[in-house]
Structure 1
Amino acid sequence: MSDKPLIIGVGGGSGSGKTTVVRRILDGIGEENIQLLQHDSYYRDLGHLPLEERKKQNFDHPSSLETELMIRHVEALKGGYKVEVPVYDFAAHTRSEDTESITPKEIILLDGILIFTEPELRKYMDIKLFVDTDDDVRLLRRIKRDIMERGRDLEGVMNQYELYVRPMHLEFVEPSKRYADIIIPRGGENQVALEMVIATIREKLTSIQAQEETHNQ
C-alpha cells in the first residue's frame, strides 16, 4: 500500500444513486484496493430518547451526524491506523454496541449526502464526486429503500421527506455541489461519466504511486 492513500468523496442527494456509483468504482478499481467509509455510520445515538421522539428527529441536518468522529477516523486511516466504525440501527435510531474494524487501503472512499458541507472533511478529499439526479427519481428510490431496508412505512417516509429531506436538500446538499470536482448526472445510469471517473481515479492513483517510488529511490 502507498504511504498516502487516495481519498475520494461521493456526495449527492438521498436516492441520487450514490450507492450504485460507489459499487461501480469498487468493481472498476477492485475492492481489494478500496476501503469504504459511509457517513451514515456516524449518526448520533438517540437511545436516550423514547422511540417516538427518535422518529421525529431531523436526520438530514448536518448536526445529526458525528462528523467530528468520522474526521478523526479519516485522519487515522490516512496515517495507516485501523479504526472502529460505529454500527447504526436505522429502524431503532440507535448505535449498536458492536463496531466494524476498518483498515487503510490504497483508496479511501467517503460516501454520504452531507460530506461536502463539512469544510474539515472536504480538505482531506483528493477527488470529490457529486451524483446529480432528478428530485422525483430520488424520492421514489428513497421510498423503496426506507420501506424495504429500514423498516419504515409510507406515511412516515413521506412526512419525513416533506418536513426534513427536501428542505435540508435545498439548504445543504444542493449548494454543496459547487465543491465537486466532477458532477455525474443520472448517477449509476451514466456509463460514460462512470468510465471517465474510473479512468481519472486510476490515473491519480498511478501518479501518487510513481511519486512515492521516486521519493523512495
Structure 2
Amino acid sequence: MKNKPILIGIAGGSASGKSSISKQLKEAFEYTKSVVIIRQDDYYKDQSEKTMEERVKTNYDHPFAFDNDLLVLHIQELLQRHAILKPTYDFVHHTRSELVENVQPCDVVVLEGLFVLEDEELRNLCDIKIFVDTDADLRFIRRLVRDVKKRGRTLESVVEQYTTTVRDMHNLFVEPSKRYADLIIPEGGHNVVAIDLLITKISSIIDKRA
C-alpha cells in the first residue's frame, strides 16, 4: 500500500540506547517533516486511584504494567493516518499525567519500548524490528544516572528495583524477544555503521512508497 507509514519497532533492555537510536532516526528523516517517536513508557497504566505506597510496589518491568491495548489501537490509528491523543506518564508520581499530546499522522513512526518485540500484536505491525543489545553493567549505570537525575529517584531505590525486578524481568521477557528482531544493534546509538545501514533501508522503503 503506497503512502502507508513505515513503523519501526525498537526494543531492548532498560537504558540500552533505544531513545538514542530513535532520536538519530528522527534527525535523519527530518527532511520529510513527518517523523514521530512513540514511547511505550507513556503507556504505563494509570494508577491515580492508588496510594503512593501502592504505586511504588508496582512491577514496572513486567508487560502487565503497560496499557498495550491502547498502544496497539493508537499505532493502528497512526498507520491509517489518523491523529491520536497520546498519554504521557509522570515518573515522579508513578501515574499517568493529565497532559496528553496531539500526534498527527506521519510518514515514519518510531515505536520504542521494553516490550515492543515481546508483544505479538505490536511486532506484527512493525515493518522493521530492531533489538538494542547493550551489556547489563552499562545499562545499569545509565539507568542509575537517568533515574536519579531525571526521574527524582534515590540511588537506593534504583538499586533495589534493579536487583528485585529489572534484572529478572529483562531475562524473562526482554532478552528472549531478541529472536524476533530483523536487526540487532550492539551498543545502541554509538553503533554508527548499524544506524547508517538502517537509515539506508528506511530510505529505500520511503522511495518505493512515494
Q: What TM bracket, shorter-length normalisation?
A: over 0.9
What corresponds to 1:78 in structure 2? 79
State the secondary structure of the residue aligned to 2:47: coil
State the secondary structure of the residue aligned to 2:125: coil
Partner Cα separation in structure 2 for residue 36 and residue 171 of structure 1: 26
Q: Does 1:48 align with 2:46?
A: no
State the secondary structure of the residue aligned to 1:101: strand
Deviation at 1:39, TM superposition (A): 0.4
Q: Is the 8 A contact 2:9 2:112 kept in 1?
A: yes
> How far does the alpha carbon of each residue in 1:47-90 deviate from its partner, in whole angstroms, 9 at most, with x for none?
21111221111000000000110100011111111110111100
What corresponds to 2:137 in structure 1? 136
What corresponds to 1:29 in structure 2? 29
What corresponds to 2:201 in structure 1? 200
What corresponds to 1:6 in structure 2? 6
State the secondary structure of the residue aligned to 2:117: helix
> Residue type matched to 2:64 in 1?
S
- Segments of 4+ moved more than 3 angstroms: none
> How far does the alpha carbon of each residue in 1:119-146 deviate from its partner, in whole angstroms, 9 at most, with x for none?
0111110001111100000000000010
Q: Is the 8 A contact 2:26 2:36 kept in 1?
A: no
Deviation at 1:96, TM superposition (A): 1.9
State the secondary structure of the residue aligned to 1:139: helix
Deviation at 1:184, TM superposition (A): 0.4
What corresponds to 1:67 in structure 2? 68
Deviation at 1:33, TM superposition (A): 2.4
Aligned residues with identical type, % of pairs: 42
> Residue type matched to 1:22 in 2?
S
Deviation at 1:203, TM superposition (A): 1.0
Q: Is the 8 A contact 2:3 2:209 kept in 1?
A: no
Q: Which moved more, 1:22-31 or 1:64-73?
A: 22-31
Partner Cα separation in structure 1 for residue 65 and residue 75 of structure 2: 19
What corresponds to 1:57 in structure 2? 58
State the secondary structure of the residue aligned to 1:9: strand
> How far does the alpha carbon of each residue in 1:112-171 deviate from its partner, in whole angstroms, 9 at most, with x for none?
011111101111100011111000000000000100111100000001001110000000
> Residue type matched to 2:186 in 1?
P
Partner Cα separation in structure 2 for residue 86 and residue 128 of structure 1: 24
Structure 1 or 2, whichever has the larger Rg, is 1
Question: Structure 2: any 5+ residue segments left out of the alignment?
Answer: none
Aligned length: 208
State the secondary structure of the residue aligned to 2:46: coil
* TM superposition score normalised by structure 1: 0.93
Question: Structure 1: any 5+ residue segments left out of the alignment?
Answer: 210-217
State the secondary structure of the residue aligned to 1:128: strand
> Residue type matched to 1:83 in 2?
I
Partner Cα separation in structure 1 for residue 24 and residue 38 of structure 2: 16
What corresponds to 1:93 in structure 2? 94
> Residue type matched to 1:94 in 2?
T
* TM superposition score normalised by structure 2: 0.96
What corresponds to 1:105 in structure 2? 106
State the secondary structure of the residue aligned to 2:73: helix
